[in-house]
């Protein structure tokens, strides 16, 4: 559940109850700060507060903000992954990032494994954005290869477009698969 936008935190208790009843893992997602519709910023303190108050069994952080702006200038909007890891490390929940890899590459496209290293070392899952309607090369196989061979994750979990499941082929080799925009399709 995307917790920090569109008033979704107010629907959290009902969503958790529905997940529990269906045997699903209730996980909250924080999207980047500063977007229209945000109810709260994506800070380590806000993430921790939301996890504790919602009694979520998992947390996913959006990893889409690049670490550098044009010319290699540090990007002040980038998530401070070590601070987030530290803030959540004592919580016994599933933790991961949903990523298009922007935070883990230099602005010239070279891999920046040092940015992913704290997450990898802390055991955070890597959920790769595989939205082939936006980027035909963002297949589960390609994003898995990049995450493993360029950034050091041992395993990935693809996030695929719910309304295009047939276009992704056999996903059985992945332990978990997330479905983007399934809520819209099920309304």
pLDDT-based confidence at residue 124 (cuts at 50, 70, 90): very high
154: how many CB neighbours lie within 10 A of its CB? 9
pLDDT value of position 71: 82
pLDDT value of position 187: 42
Q: Give the start-to-end residue ranges of the domains of the chain.
A: 8-186
Q: What is the pLDDT of residues 16-69, one digit of tens each?
A: 999 899 988 889 888 887 777 777 788 999 999 999 999 999 999 999 999 988
The yes-or-no verdict on residue 186 having pLDDT over 90 is: no
Distance, CA of 131 to CA of 158 (rounded, Å): 10
Q: What is the pLDDT of residues 82-103, one digit of tens each?
A: 999 999 999 999 999 999 999 9
73: how many CB neighbours lie within 10 A of its CB? 9
- 76: which 2 tokens? 């002040």
DSSP sequence for the chain: -BTTBTTGGGGHHHHHHHHHHHT---EEEEPPTT-TTBSS---HHHHHHHHHHHT-SEEEEEE---SEEGGGEE-TTS--HHHHHHHHTTS-SEEEEEE-SGGGB-TTS-B-HHHHHHHHHTT-EEEEEE-TTT-TT--HHHHHHHIIIII--S--EEEEEGGGGGGG---TTSS--EEETHHHHH-
pLDDT value of position 81: 95
Distance, CA of 63 to CA of 30 (rounded, Å): 10
- 111: which 2 tokens? 């891999």
Q: What is the pLDDT of residues 125-150, one digit of tens each?
A: 999 999 998 889 999 999 999 999 99
């Amino acid at each position: 559940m995307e917790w920090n936008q569109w008033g979704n935190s107010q629907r959290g208790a009902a969503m958790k109850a529905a997940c529990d009843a269906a045997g699903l893992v209730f996980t909250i997602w924080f999207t980047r700060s500063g977007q229209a519709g945000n109810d709260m910023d994506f800070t380590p303190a806000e993430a921790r507060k939301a996890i504790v108050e919602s009694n979520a069994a998992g947390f996913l952080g959006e990893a889409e903000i690049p670490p550098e702006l044009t010319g290699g200038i540090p990007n002040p909007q980038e998530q401070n992954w070590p601070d987030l890891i530290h803030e959540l490390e004592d919580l016994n929940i599933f933790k991961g990032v949903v990523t298009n890899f922007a935070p883990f590459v230099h602005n010239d496209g070279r891999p920046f494994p040092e940015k992913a290293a704290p997450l990898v070392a802390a055991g955070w899952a890597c959920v790769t954005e595989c939205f082939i309607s936006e980027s035909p090369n963002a297949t589960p196989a390609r994003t898995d290869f990049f995450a493993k061979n360029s950034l050091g994750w041992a395993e990935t979990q693809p996030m695929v477009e719910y309304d295009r499941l047939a276009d992704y082929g056999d996903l059985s080799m992945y332990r978990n698969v997330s479905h983007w925009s399934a809520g819209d399709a099920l309304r």
